[in-house]
Every structure is written in C-alpha cells, then in structure tokens.
Amino acid sequence: MATLLGYFARRAWLGELASHFRVQYAWVLAAAAVWWAVRASVPGALVAASFALVNLSAILPLYLPRPRASQAGSRRTFRALLANVCFSNRSYEAVRRFIDDVNPDLVLLEEIDDVWLAALKELAEAYPYSKAVEHRGGFGIALFSRLPFERLDVERFGKLPIPSLVGQFVLDGQRVTVIGTHPWSPISPTYTRLRNQHLEGLASFAAALQPAPLLILGDLNATSWTPVFQDVLRIANLRDSRVGFGVQSTWPVGMPLARIPIDHCLVSDQIVVHRRWIGPSVGSDHAPLVVECSIHAA
C-alpha cells in the first residue's frame, strides 16, 4: 500500500510523504519475499518480490554509469560543500574541522544564525568572497567562496520570503552559476504547496540561465523520487548528481534505517561530477554533502 500510495504524490499529501521511502520499502519487501519463500508461500513471495522490484526500478537509475568528461574537457576541478548545520546545533568545532578536512572551494551553509556566523567568523578569512543572510525559522543561509564572484545576489523563489543565494564565477573561461536554496519542509499539505511553489520558481529561474554551466546546492526537502523534484530536473534541464554514485541519504542522521536523500546537488550538462560523498555527523540532523566537479570545454 505504501509503495502504491507514493505514486499519488501529486494528488495527496500522504502520497507525497510515502514517495520518499523507496529504499526502505525495497528492503522490507525483499525480506518479506524471502520469508514467504521459506514458508513455501508462492503467492506471498511473488507479491512481495514484485513490489520490491517496483521500488528498485526507482532506485537503480541512481547507480547507472555517470556522464564522463570528454578528453577535450576541462581538467581543473572545484569542490563544493553543502551543510545544513541545524540552527539548534552547537557543534561549531565539528563543522569547522570538517570544512578544514575537505578544503572545498565553495561552502554553502544552511540554517545559520548570528551565533553560527560568529562561531565561524574565521571562514570569512579563508573564503573572502561570501554573503550571509539571516532569516527566522531556520532559513538563514551563507555562501563562502575562494573563487572570486562576479556577482553574488539574494533571490527569493515562491511566495515565502525565504532567501536563496545566487553567485557567478569564472572557471576556465566559462561563467558558472551556483545557487544555494532551502525551501520549506513538507510537514503539512499547506507547507507542501509552499515548498512546491519555491521549487517551481527555482526551476524557472534556473531554466532562464541556460545554457551556461549551473550548479544548485541545497536541502530541497524532497527526495529524488518526488514528482516536484523530477519537475525541477525537467524544467531546468538539470541532472541529479547522485547518478553513478547511488542514493547517499543525508537525513535524519540519528535514524540510519529511516534516512532519505533530501540534500542535493543538481548540475547542468556542462558540469561533470567526478566525486560525490556524504560526510560524517557534525552535530546536525543532516549529514554534509561534498561534490567535486569540472566544466566541459565550451
């Protein structure tokens, strides 16, 4: 029932919630198929195995071979780190250590506040090109960069005044746009609509920037199997950077068996993702995400 309910995500809020747990459904149904087979119940085993395959069909595309750079493509890479630090988290040193260990070129932090900005003030020295916007409700956001930005603006998508950051820098002679964003959590039908409006606005904004290289980072509060997430990929002509690397779930850190992938990096066709990995716990309910990319030759 949960598997089928997930396919009604566009029509019902419960369907939206059910759509996030494809991995968990696949494991439970596969175990049920084995259990029924051991009990010599062929109908039960077939039903469970069939629904396990339905969920696997949504998961397996993330394990397909990822796009490769042509030999004529850029060999220079840049590394981006996304961390939803959780505004109630006070593990400042854990976040600082992780950033130091990864040594990224771009750092996007979400759910920051004035306390977090004061605790991480050294970042401004190591990353001189930066902007931070505080916002109530855990929607503060900050982008730090070693790469000089030609511009770094605040944008707002959807009907809520939640800030997103849009920066442009030049790498190997090509202008690259990076967007950091964090829509509302779909904790009710109303908030789900607000999240969808945010993501629809993001998709339209990103589509208007094509065909220049584009990278979107953020806790999108949607998994790769949510219809609105697929709409963003289609409208903005972007790829889920998970393809070739697997599910890489990020939330909630404290419940490994229930973890789902809601922290994302979306890329345009000109960007090749060479590495992608999930970092350790830094005190937040989200695990950080790191991607290493390069740009195709124009």
Q: Are residues 59 and 82 in the same domain?
A: no
Question: Which residue, 110, 109, 106, 113, is CA-closest to 129?
Answer: 106
In the prediction, which pLDDT does 72 show? 46
28-40, pLDDT tens digit by residue?
999 999 999 998 8
Q: What range defines the domain where residue 241 resides?
A: 77-295
Express each pLDDT in 206-260 by its tens digit.
Answer: 999 988 899 999 999 999 999 999 999 999 999 999 999 999 999 999 999 999 9
Q: Does any domain span residue 69? A: no
Q: Indicate whether 169 belongs to any domain.
A: yes
Is residue 210 domain-shared with residue 85, that is, in the same domain? yes
Rounded CA-CA distance 10/256 in Å is 27
Q: Which residues contact 189 (CB under 8 A, 6 or more apart)?
A: 13
Looking at the fold, whether 91 and 230 belong to one and the same domain comes out as yes
Residues 188 and 41 in one domain: no
pLDDT in tens, 52-105: 999 999 999 999 887 665 544 556 899 999 999 999 999 999 999 999 999 999
Domain match, 39 and 185 both: no
The answer to whether residues 203 and 231 belong to one domain is: yes
Shared domain for 126 and 203, answered yes or no, is yes
Q: Same domain, yes or no, for 126 and 220? A: yes
Mean pLDDT of the chain: 93
124/201 same-domain check = yes
pLDDT of amino acid 66: 76
In a domain, 127, yes or no: yes
Q: Is the omega angle on the peptide bond into residue 211 within 30 degrees of 0, that is, cis? A: yes
70 is a domain residue: no
88 occurs within a structural domain = yes
Residue 229 and residue 83 share a domain: yes
**For the chain, where are the E strands, in sequence order?**
77-84, 106-110, 129-133, 141-145, 149-156, 163-171, 174-180, 214-219, 239-240, 263-267, 271-278, 289-295
Total domain count, the chain:
2
Would you say residue 179 lies in a domain?
yes
